[in-house]
Chains A and B, each alone.
Chain A
Amino acid sequence: MTLHPIRLTVNGKSEEASVPAAMTLLEFLRERLYLTGAKEGCGAGECGACTVLLDGLPVTACLVLAVEGDGREVRTVEGEAKATGLSVLQRAFIEEGAIQCGFCTPGMIMSARGLLDRNPNPTDAEIVEAIAGNLCRCTGYEAIVAAIRRAAKEERDRR
């Protein structure tokens, strides 16, 4: 099996590795970099638990090969918190009770991050559309939509 050298930026840090062709970006993040925030739910791009930002855009990391990440910038939920503590978005999830079992949360946060980066003032319909690819079996979504709405407002107020 051929190993492919890759160089990519993950949460602002430059990473170099050699990966087999069949390794997914999700496996690379979890098993090589020990960034276990992104989860494997379905492994088929249906559930969104593995959502990360690839060059700023949400993608399902289970359907991206690690070798395709070469030269790209990846952001995971681990990059969301800063040294000063949780991000506004993460705190909003806690404050709105948008977390129950937590399995979908890293993917939800990254879909929300991608949305707020491209649209700081989303409508509820735009929030629903942005997280339509993220399944949550606990919360019923209302609290998640409320959390993203709240984070959007707080992030705007801080600007």
Chain B
Amino acid sequence: MLGEFEYARAKTVRGGCALLAEAGGKATILAGGTDLLVNIRAGKASPRLLVDLKGVKSLDRLTVSPKTGASIGASVPLNTIVENRGIRTRYPGLAEAAWTVGSYQIRNRATIAGNLCNASPAADTAPPLLVLDAILEVASPRGEREVPVRSLFVDSKKTSLSFDEVVTAIRIPPVPATTRTAFLKKQRVKGHDLAILNVAGRYDPATGDLQIAIGSCAKTPVLVPPLGEPVPPDAPIPELARRLEALAIQVVHPISDLRATAEYRRALLPVFIRRLLEALLQQSDHREAIR
């Protein structure tokens, strides 16, 4: 047995919110369970009630359209995102990030909403969703609201959501067909591992618009402040990388943990910024995981 808790399967989002509200902060949403059940077993979490929303049909949908963008229901497992043709075509950086989470078995359970709401600084899907300006659709007993992923992370393992709020979907705005996205991750082994450092970027060679985000290097995944000018596709990468690194160090505060030292993370940063720029501007393949 994993611990002492009760379980309730909500049939509707409204019902789920009511159960969470009633428990007054002592209930937790059970999505894929791949973090939650591990934490309960390790004594790091002790919710009184798990509210399972996987029975709510509307949370199961994944749609991608060039006109309206993508909508990923909160219960959609990561493998469904990895395998979705529309996501792979339009948002390959997100598909890559989702693919590097855990193992195949884990990704059949783990969800993108869970990856975000767990609020790990190393959450792999966070950097690509940050650069894509993704928005969470959130429901609570007070109604519905939208929370940009940019304002979701408050601290390590802490989000801006209230205990009775339920993420129903992650919406990604449409991007021009010319937009490129990329995701790179440094991990200790080439199988499944949490990130020592993960980076994602979005670049549109037609407009020169460039945005990058960094994970595992601060208390939360962070967006690097914009350069403030368009980046041409033939921009010299070493100089561009130096400018972005200078912007990045304003927002990162790497720490030492069991995966790497702060010094190593700090040393990886310029390397991964350069590789990311090569992936975005020159479409080089720097992905490290097995394939």
Contacts and interface: CB of A to CB of B under 8 A. Distances in A.
A68 B108 CA distance: 14
A22 B102 contact: no
B267 interface: no
B154 to A, nearest CB: 26
A67 B291 contact: no
A44 B42 CA distance: 9
User: Contact residue range for chain B?
Assistant: 20 to 34
B147 interface: no
Contact of A125 (B34, B109, B291): B291
Q: Is the interface of B mostly helix, strand, loop or mixed?
A: loop
Contacts of B290: 125, 128-129, 132
Q: Is the interface of A mostly helix, strand, loop or mixed?
A: mixed
Nearest to B103: A133
A44 B33 CA distance: 10
B191 interface: yes
Contacts of B1: 20, 22-24, 27
A43 interface: yes
Contact of A58 (B2, B104, B191): B104
A57 interface: yes
B264 interface: no
Given A64-B33, A125-B291, A22 B3 contact: yes
Nearest to A133: B103
A129 B291 contact: yes
A68 B103 contact: no
Nearest to B49: A21
A133 B2 contact: no
Interface in B83-113: 102-106, 108-109
A129 B50 CA distance: 32
Given A21-B50, A44-B38, A125-B291, A59 B2 contact: no
Contacts of A59: 105, 108-109
Contacts of A58: 104-105, 108
B38 A21 contact: no
Most chain B beta-carbon contacts within 10 A, residue among A59, A62, A130 = A59
A130 B38 CA distance: 22
Contacts of B9: 67
A20 B2 CA distance: 10
A118 B278 CA distance: 34
Contacts of B242: none
A130 B104 contact: yes
B6 A2 contact: yes
Interface string B22-47: 00000000101110011001100000
B105 A48 contact: yes
Contacts of B41: 43-44
B192 interface: yes
Interface in A1-19: 1-2, 4
11 contacts: A1-B4, A1-B6, A24-B37, A45-B105, A48-B105, A51-B105, A63-B38, A65-B7, A65-B33, A68-B54, A114-B104
Interface of A: 1-2, 4, 20-24, 27, 43-46, 48, 51, 54, 57-60, 62-65, 67-68, 111, 114, 125, 128-130, 132-134
Interface of B: 1-7, 9, 30, 32-34, 37-38, 41-42, 50, 52, 54, 79, 102-106, 108-109, 191-192, 290-291
Given A59-B105, A133-B106, 13 more contacts: A20-B1, A22-B1, A22-B5, A24-B2, A48-B103, A58-B105, A63-B34, A65-B33, A65-B50, A68-B30, A111-B104, A111-B105, A132-B191
